[in-house]
Each structure stands twice: as C-alpha cells, then as structure tokens.
Structure 1
Amino acid sequence: MLQDIDQSVLAEIDEMRNRLRLRLRTSRRWEGQLRRNLTARAIAGSNTIEGYAASVSDVEDIMVGEAPIDANDTVTAEIEGYRRAMTYIQRLAEAGDDFAYSKGLLNSLHFMMQGHHLIKRPGWWRTGPVYVTSAEDPTIAAYTAPDAQQLAELTGELVGWLNEGDLNAPGLVRASMAHLNLVAIHPWSDGNGQMSRALHTLVLAREGIMAPEFSSIEEWLGRARNTYRYYDILADVGSPVWTPDRDTLPWIRFCLRAHHQQAQSVERQVNTTREVWAALDEAVEQRGWPDRMLYALLPHGHGQPPAPRDLPDGCRTQRTAGPTRHPRTRPCWLARRQGRGAEPLLHGRPGSPQGDRARNSRAPAAARPVRVAAKCCSGETSVEVETRPQHEHAVRSGGCGLRSAASQTRVLH
C-alpha cells in the first residue's frame, strides 16, 4: 500500500506533467524534432540495457530510414525492431475506447521487436524453460521463470488485469506493475526485458499520462548507474522462482523515482528547446538565412550534430566547439546469451561504492557554449548558443534526494 510520502511523489510528478501539457498545448515548429529526439532517446536507452548500444543520432537516422554512422548491422536490426514497436505504441495511445489488451497484442508487439530472429519464434510463447543465471556461477539459475505449461494461464491473468484490474490505482503504479509482472512471467525465449519496458510505456500512454515519448522512463533506465539499480531491484523484489505474493513496494518506489527524475529531464529539455529555438530564430532572421537553417542548428543546442537531412540545399554546418557526445557502452556486468533460452544476465556487481561513485560522478552543471559555423550561399558566419543553469533546487521525495535545474539560453554574437 502506498504511503503518504509515495503520494507526495506522485503529486509532484503530476505537477510537472501538467506544466508540460500546458507548454505543449499549442503546436510549435520545434515540437516535431523534439518528439523525434525523445523517442530516439527512449529506444537507445532500452536497447542499451540489452547490450545494443547506439548513439541518439544513429537511432534518429534509423528511425527515418537512413544508414547510421556508427551502429553495426546487428545493432541496427535491434533498433529498427524496437522502433516499429514504439511507433505502434504511439499510435495505440490515440486508439478509441474500444481498445483492449490481449495476448495477440502482446505477441504482435514482440514480433515487431524480434521478427529478425525467426529462429527464436518471435510472437509465440516459449515452449521450454527460461532462467537467469547467477553472477557468481553461470551454471546456477538465480531465477527460474514459470513453466511453459503455465504461460497460457498467467498471460491470460495479466491481460485480464490490464483490462479490468485496479483501474482506480494511479497510472504510474499500474504501468510499473505491468512491467514487473511481464518480466517475471518471461513468456518468450528472448526479448522479455524489452517487451516489459515497452508495455510499461504503453500502459502510461493508455492511462492518459502523456504521449509515450514524454512519459517513458526507458532513457532513464538505460543510463549505466540506473541500469545497475534496475537489475538490483528486480533481484530484490523477485526470488529464485516465480513468487507472485512478494512485497512490491520497493519496486513501485524505484519506478516513481525514475518517473520523477525523467519528468524533470523532459521538462528541462522542452524548456531548453523552446529557448534555443527562440534565440536561433532571431539570429537566423538577422543574418538573412533561410528558415530551414533553424532545424539544422537546433540539435547543437542539445550537444548533437545536425543530421544531413535537416540541412538546406547548398548549406553545411560544422561544429567547432562544445561538449563531446560519447556513445553509451554495454555495462561489463551484463553477460551475453549463454545457450538457448537464457536472457542477458547480471554478471557481477559494479565494484566498491567508492569506485562506483567515481565512475558515475558528474561535474557540476555549467554553461554549455556551442558554436556552429555555417556556410551558405549568403556567405560564411557563425552562431554560438549557450545554455546555462539558472538555479537548482533539491526535491526530497521518498528519501531519494532528486535534483533538477532550470536552464537559461542565449545567443552569443
């Protein structure tokens, strides 16, 4: 049962979501590019957990059917599969009142994700055992999923609950429990983690929380330190075998923390995008550049290079200064599949607390000047955009000490 502190966190998340709804009520020219970027971040985050690391820029290229710069063919296939499922989830968010969860829907989403692995029977329940191996000894099963003979009953119970169970519970709680139950049932031979996170996002969308790209926590879960915590909490709430009556409050609180921090991140990104766009719009108009230069320059305000598809004809941009984008890598403690039916597994802990803090420490927020040199038919010049934290406040919710910062943006002439 949720306690007062949990209700307080839910209220703070709702407040942030409401502010975001107000900002997005009127369609903006920059909104489409922002939605694409947020979707790419969610896809990249969920696939990074499975060991398929790709930069946000590469994911955006794959989303529009272009060849990525760094991602190999294996990673590209995984990203494309997840993109198909996420696109369908975005459409289902707007489905009518006759929408209903079903086993067919779950299997269809799974096939969209895993259809390039036909040997693993995507879209069909597994017919044999599946297990998670121990970090200390890969020959020992740390978790054994329910027998294949139980899948029809368990998935039927899950679908029934999704349609009719706990409908008065907060949407974030229902989405979190859908995630936990599906990953515990492990109904497929592969892709169970990805499907569980996708179902989490789908439930959020159907509950009317916000559009999937604005409400998903997949990006947050894909950050290395959060991924450690994700697997740790699943191990703590779970047990060596399927045990549906264990206390799930720690899992709910973990997910509320994820939603709280991700809501801060999305709100900050929306504000920054709006401010950068306004500053660039003024600068582009003053220089007499074509309007399409706005779309080419906007990614620099977020530390990303512009995609060639966004550049006007006869124009090119070159990033001459600013933060370096580092591709995310697979955590060393995630083992690859070991034989048929074994999921990517927890393989060792992140080391000492001191080492963990050092590895994941971040420099204090500071100004991020990014200079963009652009050459067009009108000549060569440059624009520099700076995003600077204006203030920072701590939100003590559920004992997690979350922090957020508002940004101030300006064009440097």
Structure 2
Amino acid sequence: MREPKIILTQDLVKLIAEIDEFKGRWDALKTLSPDRLDALRKVATVESVGSSTRIEGAKLSDAQVEELLSNIKMQSFNTRDEQEVAGYAEAMDLVFQAFDDLRLTENHIFQLHQTLLRHSVKDERHRGGYKTLRNDVVAFDADGKELGVVFETATPFDTPRDMEVLVAWTRKAIDEESLHPLLIVAVFIVQFLAIHPFQDGNGRLSRVLTTLLLLRAGYVYVPYASLERVIEENKDLYYKALRRTQTTLKGEAPDWEPWFGFFLRALKKQKDSLAKRLDREREQESADDALPELSMQILALFKAHERLTPAAIERELGANRNTLKVRLRELVEAGRIKRHGKARATWYTRG
C-alpha cells in the first residue's frame, strides 16, 4: 500500500470543517432527556440494521426489523434475511458497548466478522477467517445471469499480507495524526473493500468498521443517526464513487476525490438528519407539558417495556378503558407511540 498523497479541494475542506463543528457542539446539542436520546438511538439502530442489510440484498422493512429486534433474545432465525439482521444488530451493539476497547486490529476485525455472521448458517465455515476462494465483484443482468467482472479484488493468497499492511498503516496514521481522522477512515474503508478480505459480509462489515473508527475518533453522535440509511438512499452514487477510486489504487496517483467526496457528503447528511431530529424532539418535549396526566403515565410505561398491549396498560394504570382508548389514539396520531396488529391482537411500541 502506497502512502496516500492527498490534495483536498476547497469543497472537501469545508465539509470536514462542518462535520467537525457539529462534533464539537454535540455536548451542547444533546440536551434532551435520556429517554428521548435513547429513543433516537433505537430508531437509528433499526434504520442502520435495515438499510445495511438491504444494501446487500435483504428484503426486510424497518418495521419487520424492529419487530425482529424486539424479540431477538427469544427467536430462532429461519431465513437468510433474519439471520443477517440479527448478526448486524449484534455486531453494532458490540461496537456501541465496547468501542473504547476495540482498537483496530486484525483479531478485532475477525471478532466482528464472527459476530456479524454468527446466525448465518451458510457462512458457518468461513466466518471469522479470511477468504479461501476468489470473490471478485461481478455484474448481473435482470435475470441474474453473470455479465462479467466489474472489479478484481485481492487474491486469497495476497489477502493476509494486504490486510496486515492496511491495518498497520491505519493504526500508524491514527497514532501519528498524519491525516485528518475522517480521511483516515475513508482511506481504510475504500482499501478494505478493494481487498474484500472475507468470503462474504465485506460490505456490511465495512459499515460496522466505519462506525467503530468514527466512535474511536470522537464522533460520539454517530449512534443517534444512521449513516447506513444515507448510503442506502444513495446506493448508486456509493458504488460509483467506490469503483472510481478503487480502479486507480494500483496506479502511481490514486484518485481519492470520488470516494472522499461521497463519504464526507454522506457524513454531512447524517449529521444534518440528526440535527433536524433533535429540533423535532425539543419541540415534542415542549408539547409534553400540555399532555394529559394519563398520556404521560402511558409514555412512562414504555421506559420499562419494549411493547405493551391495551390490557397490560389498563392493568398497570388502573385507568378507565374508554378514556384509555382515547389517550392511546391521541398518542398514536401524535407519533409518540406506534400501533401494531388489529383488534384483540393490538400492541404498542414507543414512537
């Protein structure tokens, strides 16, 4: 791996400055109650899990992802999509809980890959280990027929050496602060995906590692807004930017600008989305002062419960059933809680 020679355009410099300004203001911005911050994080987690798995071909909607995650401890995962969702959620949870201790090492990358594919039956043989077969990026037509190789990844023989070099460069760059942290993350990710070190799960793992590196670099607001959702919404641009940079990596002067541009703009959209959500939540907190007492009691129940049925709420609060129905309907219409199911099978979650 050559030492990157990077010259930034004025637009990219402005993007970095804007993202860093938000990072610096985060402590002042997160003035919401812990409950509301926790709710924001749960929404972002569902969006991240859903988007990252759909980018790779899964079909589960956010609502289906949310329901699966609410039962994750008691559920077996029968379909490939469910297995991938469960694995991604567990890998992200590991990063959120332990990022301070997860320094970038090959062993930690193996650990995250193992977690990511933990529930994937077809990946059992190769989870947590580098690839043994070629996995070049290929194109398919509408009928699923292979059209040809789009990008040649590292060979299985070269992969261990290439990953050792990439991890060593990244750690050295972080320790010596030789580049801005966001550029170090961007270089690592585009190189990681060019190597494509594992037989499967490389795209999903790259997004888990992005979150890990951003958290370790001090961008601690990342769990509250989904970068994966931004990528899913701009998937064509994502792949084009990757390919435009990756096809130049073996040349004398790699063209970093396509990938840097996409990556930094995605981070900007992520923080802009979070800023808007924070504004909405502050407005909602102000509106809470006008809520009826029973409505506040209903919302308080969701601090201890992921999901509640009308009967459970009635039992907990001892409220009049008809009044309770009115307050539940008002909270659903206001977006404070979500209704699932119908008639006697109705249940609610936090909005």
Q: Could you state the TM-score of these two structures normalised by the residue count of structure 2?
A: 0.78
Match of 1:264 in 2: 272
From the two aligned structures, give the one with the greater helix fraction: 2
| Among 312, 322, 325, the residue aligned to 1:380 | 325
Secondary structure, aligned partner of 2:239: helix
Distance 1:258 1:80 in 2: 25
8 Å Cα contact 1:237/1:251 also seen in 2: yes
Change (3 A) 1:2 1:88: same
Name the counterpart of 1:102. 105
The answer to whether the 8 Å contact 2:47/2:226 transfers is no
Whether the 8 Å CA contact 1:276–1:385 is kept in 2: the answer is no
CA contact (8 A) 1:131 1:145 kept: yes
CA contact (8 A) 1:201 1:215 kept: no
**Residues 61 and 289 from structure 1, CA distance in 2 versus in 1: closer, same or farther, beyond 3 angstroms?**
same
Higher strand share: 1
CA displacement at 1:11 relative to structure 2: 1.5
What is the aligned length?
A: 314
Aligned to 2:231: 221
2:137 maps to what in 1? 132
1:12 is the counterpart of 2:12: no
* 1:176-214 CA-partner distances (Å, limit 9, x unpaired): 222111111001111111111111111101101124413
Conserved in 2, the CA contact under 8 Å of 1:292 and 1:311?
no
How far 1:23 moved relative to its partner?
Answer: 2.3
TM-aligned CA distance change 1:268 to 1:182, over 3 Å: same
Q: Are residues 1:253 and 2:261 paired?
A: yes
Q: Which runs of 5+ in 2 are unaligned?
A: 1-6, 337-351
2: distance between equivalents of 1:313 and 1:281?
A: 25
Tell me which moved more, 103-112 or 22-31: 22-31
Is 1:47 matched with 2:53?
Answer: yes
CA distance in 1, matches of 2:64, 2:252: 39
- 2:225 and 2:253 map into 1 onto residues whose CA distance is 28
- Distance in 1 (CA, whole Å) between partners of 2:181 and 2:68 is 31
Q: Evaluate the alpha carbon distance shift between residue 293 and residue 110 of structure 1 in structure 2; reply closer, same or farther with a 3 A threshold.
A: same
**Correspondence 1:111 to 2:114:** yes
Q: 1:181 aligns with which of 191, 208, 213?
A: 191
Alpha-carbon distance, 1:150 to partner: 0.9
Does the CA-based 8 Å contact 2:138-2:147 persist in structure 1? yes
Q: How does 1:246-395 map to 2 (within 5 A)?
A: 246-285=254-293, 288-293=294-299, 308-309=307-308, 313-315=312-314, 376=321, 378-381=323-326, 382-383=329-330, 384-385=333-334
Partner residue of 1:335?
A: none
1:234 aligns with 2:242: yes
Matching residue's letter, 2:87: G
Change (3 A) 1:375 1:241: farther
Letter in 2 for 1:171: P
The AA in structure 1 aligned to 2:168 is: G
Q: Tell me the percent identity.
A: 23
What one-letter code is carried by the residue in structure 2 that aligns with 1:385? A
Of 131, 140, 148 in structure 1, the residue corresponding to residue 156 of structure 2 is 148
1:274-310: CA deviation from partner (whole Å, max 9, x where unpaired): 322431453133xx3452336769xxxxxxxx96348
> What secondary structure, in the 3-state scheme, does the structure 1 residue paired with 2:334 have?
strand
Displacement of 1:124 in angstroms is 0.7
